[in-house]
Amino acid sequence: MTAHETITAETIAFDDHALILIDQTRLPGELVTLRCTDIRQTHDAIRRLVVRGAPAIGIAAAYGVCLAGDQTGPPTTKQIYLDAIEYLATSRPTAVNLFWALDRMRDVVESTDMGDLPAKLLDEARSIHAEDREMCHAIGRNGAELLADAANVLTHCNAGGLATSTWGTALAPIYHLHQAGHKLHVYADETRPLLQGARLTAWELSQAGVNVTVLTDSMSGSLMRQGKVDAVIVGADRIAANGDVANKIGTYPLAVLARHHAIPFYVAAPSSTFDLALENGDLIPIEQRDRAEVASPHGVTVVPEAAQVINPAFDVTPSELVTAIITERGVVHSPDKSKLADHLS
């Protein structure tokens, strides 16, 4: 059973007039979709995490470009499309898949006659979406071998079907093994402050019949010490040329803990998540989000007003803590600059 055989809506769909997104801010309480009919709504949906996860943001933004224009009709100049691309690029800064997808859309704008442009842009967005489905399945196959002997796997945030078009990245090997009859148990970190692990990973895994247990972020070290975690697998928002990985805040301490307990730490990500222009992870822009996400979750004040709050959405894990990176092309063990350059060439 796959994530979307049991989720009754697609994470992302497009019906020519609208981008239709599962509203992830409402899960797990309600499974409802949000229709975006213009680029402002698309930008807002990405910024508010209605749609989130690096590959999903890229797909949504690509379809968003197809919604450029206004009530009077589709754009009459290429500049309107180019402005839409620039605008959508300001929605979130860290996941490089957003910029990768928008670069592909820009190339189409620049190389196509105006009359053909709406159809060609939609073709490109649909290709990005279809390639993502292939990518998820390939990562599932490539990563399955690494987890084949594991009984208990720990993951952080959500790098599953809700973060992509289908199986996800970190969850893809888990779905692959589950389909093959291998009974894996998944520990899902709740993932403060927005609880993507508790709300989304636990929801989609349980929809698919995968055995899942949610833990608060601070419990992972103790579980590892008790020998209850065989492997850690996470996704990525951007991977620098040397293999440093930006992912959801809280990933780095997990990698440190995994190393201390001699537990393999795997990162699963498509080639569109690599940013070879950045020498190392210190150069990756880290999104800083609103105080309210930490200080007043669900509208309940939990931090006194006089106290300051920091809320970086991502952290960077140095490549030396990464056992292997799994992509749609294969597996890179002990990743470094030269191995990754070879892998991606």
Contacting positions for ligand MRU (CB under 6 A)? 49, 52-55, 95, 157, 159, 163-164, 168-169, 196, 234-237, 247-248, 313
- Residue 54 annotated as binding? yes
- Residue 183 annotated as binding? no
DSSP letters for 93-106: SS-HHHHHHHHHHH
Whole-angstrom Cα distance, residue 298 to residue 191? 15
- Residue 126 annotated as binding? no
Nearest approach, Cβ of residue 168 and ligand MRU (Å): 5
95 vs 105, which CB is nearer to ligand MRU? 95
In 148-220, DSSP assigns E strands to 152-155, 185-189, 211-215
- Residue 235 annotated as binding? no
**Residue showing the smallest CB distance to ligand MRU in the complex:** 235
169 vs 242, which CB is nearer to ligand MRU? 169
- Residue 52 annotated as binding? yes
Per the CB < 8 A criterion, the answer to whether 283 and 274 are in contact is: no
* HEC-encoded secondary structure of 112-132: CCHHHHHHHHHHHHHHHHHHH
Q: Tokens standing for 92? A: 């979130």
Please identify which residue in the block is written with the tokens 């159809």: 119
249 vs 257, which CB is nearer to ligand MRU? 249
109 vs 146, which CB is nearer to ligand MRU? 146
Whole-angstrom Cα distance, residue 88 to residue 265? 33
Nearest approach, Cβ of residue 159 and ligand MRU (Å): 4
Nearest approach, Cβ of residue 97 and ligand MRU (Å): 8
Whole-angstrom Cα distance, residue 126 to residue 108? 13
- Secondary element (H or E) of residue 315: strand 314-317
Nearest approach, Cβ of residue 198 and ligand MRU (Å): 12
Which residues are tagged catalytic?
A: 237
Nearest approach, Cβ of residue 287 and ligand MRU (Å): 8
68 vs 139, which CB is nearer to ligand MRU? 139
* Residue/partner pairs of 100-106 with CB below 8 Å, 24 or more apart: 100/58, 100/272, 101/58, 101/59, 101/61, 101/62, 101/128, 101/272, 102/58, 102/61, 102/62, 102/65, 104/62, 104/128, 105/61, 105/62, 105/65, 105/81, 106/82
User: Residue positions in the annotated binding site?
Assistant: 52-54, 92, 196, 247-248
Binding positions for substrate are: 52-54, 92, 196, 247-248
